[in-house]
Amino acid sequence: MDRMEDKLDALWVEYRAACPDPDPAPDFMPRLWQKIDKRRADSARIFRRLAQICVMGTVALTVLMAAVLIPRIQTDAFFAGTYADELAAQSVNVDYTDFLTAGDLR
Asked if residue 62 belongs to a domain, the reply is yes
Q: How many domains is the chain partitioned into structurally?
A: 1
Query: Alpha-carbon distance 53 to 48, whole Å?
Result: 9
Q: Per the domain annotation, does 36 fall within a domain? A: no
Instruction: Assess if residue 18 is contained within a domain.
Output: no
Could you read off the pLDDT tens digit of each residue along the chain, which spans 106 residues?
Answer: 688 888 999 999 999 888 877 777 888 888 888 888 888 877 788 888 999 999 999 999 999 988 888 777 766 666 667 778 777 777 777 666 666 555 555 5
Residues in contact with 57: Cβ distance below 8 Å, sequence separation at least 6, in sequence order: none
Residue numbers of the domain that contains 66: 49-75
pTM across the whole model: 0.40
66 within domain boundaries: yes
Output the CA angle 44-47-53, nearest 5 degrees.
Answer: 140
> What are φ and ψ of residue 80, in 5° steps?
-75, -35
